Amino acid sequence: MTKPMLKMTAAFADVMPAEYVELVQSGPFGKGYGVADLGSFKELIEEHPLCAGCGLALAVRLIMASLPSPEDTVVVGSTGCSSLAFPQIALQNIHSLFGNQNAVATGLKRALTLRFPDKHKDVLVVAGDGATADIGLDMVLHSWFRGEKLATIMLDNEAYANTGGQESGMSPEGCVLNMAPTGKKFKKIALPEIARESGCAYVASVTPVQPRKLEKAVRRAILVAREVGPTYVQIFVPCPTNYKFKPQETLVKAKQKEKDQTYPLREFITPEAQSYLAAIEGGGKRD
């Protein structure tokens, strides 16, 4: 998508549904809105079929509000809970086969770089923990090894949540789920550390409890991926359905894990990315 694509033809402006008129008139395209502006503009996602209290839904909303250039962003997703929400977003998005998201994003990014050599086209990979750390780990790791300029975001709900609740590599040790009744037998994969060692220029793990922190991580990941190299953000998104807590307790659970360090928040930045970020964030500008 580009900005001209967001202009309606005069001949049909009178029959366009109000939703689209609103998106053009008060959407985030080219306006530089962020998380602090939520509620004052037409958001890229409004309705979704996810469960009540889903942490992932909140994270998707915050990610969409954090994009530095939504009009020049393509989202690549994969199978999982997030793939139920992404068809609803008002952005170009590709649903890849389960686990293929970073391979698909690689091809897309390379094609966009050839097609638009003078422009930044952000390719944002957003997938669940199953697609990123288990089934698609091969594709994810190799995209990092190759130094592809992609921002990879993992929505970590610590389970295969929409298939009944199987344990994933990101489930914590000992956790009991519907389809893991005897408890998980090994530790949670330390993917932020693996990302750091695999060539990611920027790595962060965050939760939706602190929206501004999440926004900062997402923006940094996208901006660093434009110029420096691959980036990775891991977002903890508690799942009330499979971890069996009340929908209104989602943020409490996330906060608790932050507090007791069972979900440590981290940020690794390479010196090159650090100097790049210092240059663009120095003036307090978003972009």
Instruction: Give contact residues for other proteins (rule: CB under 8 A).
Output: 2, 4-12, 15-17, 20, 47-49, 87-90
Q: Which of 263, 64, 41, 48 is nearest to 157 (CA)?
A: 263
Least gap, CB of 18 to other proteins (angstroms): 8
Say how far apart CA 111 and CA 234 lie, in whole Å: 26
CB of 89 to other proteins, least distance (A): 8
Task: Please enumerate in sequence order all residues whose Cβ is within 8 A of that of 278, keeping only pairs 6 or more positions apart, or say none.
Answer: none
Q: In the 8-state DSSP scheme, what is residue 33?
A: -
Distance, in Å, from the CA atom of 162 to the CA atom of 76, rounded to the nearest integer, reads: 19
C-beta closer to other proteins: residue 43 or 281: 43
| 130 contact partners, CB below 8 Å, separation of at least 6 | 79, 80, 98, 160, 168
Instruction: Write down the least CB distance from residue 236 to other proteins, Å.
Output: 25
Q: Which is nearer to other proteins, 83 or 231 (CB)?
A: 83
Positions of E strands within 129-285 = 151-156, 202-206, 231-236, 266-269
Residue 73 parent element (H or E): strand 73-77
- Distance of closest approach, residue 14 Cβ to other proteins, in angstroms: 9
Pairing mode of beta strands 266-269, 202-206:
antiparallel
Residues near 173 by beta carbon (within 8 Å), at least 6 away in sequence:
184, 185, 186, 187, 188
Q: Give whichever of 20 and 268 is closer to other proteins, judged by the CB atom.
A: 20
Nearer to other proteins, 96 or 231 (CB): 96
Compute the least distance from the CB of residue 12 to other proteins, in Å: 5
- Closest CB to other proteins among 91 and 175? 91
In angstroms, give the least distance from the CB of 92 to other proteins: 10
**Looking at beta carbons only, is 11 or 114 nearer to other proteins?**
11
